[in-house]
Amino acid sequence: MKIIVVGNGKIGLLLVRQLAREGHDIVVVDNDPDKLHYLQEKLDVAIIVGNGASADVLQEADVRNADLTLAVTNSDEVNLLTALVARKLGCKHTAARVRSQDYDREMNLLKTSFGLSFAVNPEKMAAREIFRLLQFPSFLARSSFANGRAELVEIIVPANGQLDGKRLDQVANILNRKALICTVERNGEVSVPSGSFVLQAEDKLSLTAATGDLSFILSRFGIKTQNIRKVMIVGGSMTAAYLAEYLLRYGIQVRILEKVKERCIKLCEMLPKAEIVNADGSLQSNLADEGIADMDAVVPMTGIDEENLLISMYARSIGSVKTVTKVNRLEYLDLLESADLDAVVSPKQLTANIITGYVRGVGQSRAGSVQTLYTINNGKAEALSFIVPETGDFLNVPIMNLKLKKAVLIATIVRNQQVIIPSGQDMLMRGDTIIVVADPRRMISNLTDIFLQDNGGMA
């Protein structure tokens, strides 16, 4: 695909790296020549210095023949205008990063008015992810599929628990096919385990299940769940405001610590039911004074990753409080594997996942293109969903007889709103939504990509 990326900030850079790795023809537009030349040295992409919302600049980028224009600058207005101009000049698809709460409320109108094919709000997406993790504090990550009917979650095997020392086939018997363990990460290595695999304490598991069965699964695993009633948010960012809205809607008490007085006033107007405190939450004395020890969960959301990490570590040191840490710098994610932290959320990684999944779907004219994409195990694996098309040699064939590529697993089938954890005897039927877990190096874009070429002639 020919893709124009307007905006070479942190999200733009992450997207360009991912899309270039997948073999797309990339043109990057930005006003900063130094950043562009650095990017050109590192990656095989074309660059144009200029305003991406300018018709002349987009024409120089050959927007008329582009399959997709991605507008991901720090300005919502520039992104919307870029999408509008690109569509008027003949670009097939446009996508924009739109962050403002005001714009978010009018998203359907904006899509129609500006010709947007797709819009993403990183702050709102991160807030929703954090809220979902607070619903089940034992989870490190949650990914939703099939309109929320099925989920893939990540958990740590607790020492001396129901899972520690159990073979995988024993776990399957305990769950009675309520869930499927898809991957196990141990000592930084990820594998798709067989039934004889023996679980150990501190293994990181990813498993799929029906959303309604998550509480049952935790209880069968002997993992205690804690109801979150009081949450402290450190930092009054836009993400914090979105998260507070979700929490307050469910009757959860919210206390936000924000050091800028003007922002506190704004938050009081936006969130009249929340408690807003004008204080520097990076100071342990302020955290203690504002009752961090009495909280069920602490969510550091300052603009500085190092502060967020230290706040979470302090919260963990004083009790069993749940922490969800917002991190912007992706290079920290691997380092945090060994840290004594709970869940870590990266808005930029979430945004890149969503847009990459969208790009793969746009690039496919065939039925069976990818619907959603999430990276799991810190990018060491991917979980993708597909709608099974009307025709194909894989239809109505037992899964055990399908010739799947190596490191590919059919994890879940959703059929007529019923979530099925498949056995070898189950079959794919037209209209099913299926979840596939695969090695990210496969770069799967279509359902047919999971099969060997000699499986009915499919690529």
In the 3-class helix/strand/coil scheme, how is the chain assigned residue by residue?
A: CEEEEECCCHHHHHHHHHHHHCCCEEEEEECCHHHHHHHHHHCCCEEEECCCCCHHHHHHCCHHHCCEEEECCCCHHHHHHHHHHHHHCCCCEEEEECCCHHHHHCHHHHHHHHCCCEEECHHHHHHHHHHHHHHCCCCCEEEEECCCCEEEEEEECCCCCCCCCCEHHHHHHHHCCCEEEEEEEECCEEECCCCCCECCCCCEEEEEEEHHHHHHHHHHCCCCCCCCCEEEEECCCHHHHHHHHHHHHCCCEEEEEECCHHHHHHHHHHCCCCEEEECCCCCHHHHHHCCHHHCCEEEECCCCHHHHHHHHHHHHHCCCCEEEEECCCCHHHHHHHHCCCCEEECHHHHHHHHHHHHHHHHCCCCCCEEEEEEEECCCCEEEEEEECCCCCCCECCEHHHCCECCCEEEEEEEECCEEECCCCCCEECCCCEEEEEECHHHCCCEHHHHECCCCCCCC
401 and 319 assigned to the same domain: no
Residues 6+ apart with CB under 8 A from 416: none
165 and 235 assigned to the same domain: no
CATH number, residue 308: 3.40.50.720
237 and 337 assigned to the same domain: yes
Strands in 408-415's sheet, in edge-to-edge order, are 370-376, 381-387, 433-438, 408-415, 418-420
- The answer as to whether 352 is a domain residue is no
Q: Is 3 exposed, middle or buried (0-12, 13-18, 19+ CB in 10 A)?
A: buried
CA 269 to chain CA mean position, Å? 30
Residues 6+ apart with CB under 8 A from 405: 438, 442, 449, 450, 451, 452
Task: Tell me how many degrees the CA angle 411-415-416 measures, rounded to the nearest 5.
Answer: 155
Amino acid letter, residue 108: N
- The answer as to whether 458 is a domain residue is no
- The answer as to whether 455 is a domain residue is no
242 and 189 assigned to the same domain: no
237 and 173 assigned to the same domain: no
- The answer as to whether 383 is a domain residue is yes
140 and 198 assigned to the same domain: yes
Whole-angstrom Cα distance, residue 350 to residue 343?
A: 14
398 and 316 assigned to the same domain: no
pLDDT of res. 70: 96
pLDDT of res. 329: 78
24 and 48 assigned to the same domain: yes
115 and 165 assigned to the same domain: no
Domain end among 74, 89, 120: 120
Domain end among 55, 89, 120: 120
- The answer as to whether 322 is a domain residue is yes
Domain end among 187, 220, 253: 220
376 and 398 assigned to the same domain: yes
pLDDT of res. 380: 87
Residue 378's φ and ψ, nearest 5 degrees, are: 55, 45
pLDDT of res. 274: 97
pLDDT of res. 333: 62
pLDDT of res. 256: 98
How many structural domains is the chain composed of?
4
14 and 107 assigned to the same domain: yes
10-residue block means of pLDDT along the chain (459 residues)? 93 89 92 90 91 96 96 94 95 92 84 88 93 91 91 90 88 80 91 90 93 88 84 96 96 97 96 97 95 95 92 87 86 61 85 86 71 86 92 92 92 94 93 94 88 57
CATH number, residue 183: 3.30.70.1450
| Residue ranges making up the domain that contains 148 | 126-220
- The answer as to whether 336 is a domain residue is yes
46 and 113 assigned to the same domain: yes
Residues 6+ apart with CB under 8 A from 335: none
pLDDT of res. 103: 85
Enter the pTM of the model. 0.85
Whole-angstrom Cα distance, residue 241 to residue 123?
A: 9
- The answer as to whether 459 is a domain residue is no
- The answer as to whether 22 is a domain residue is yes
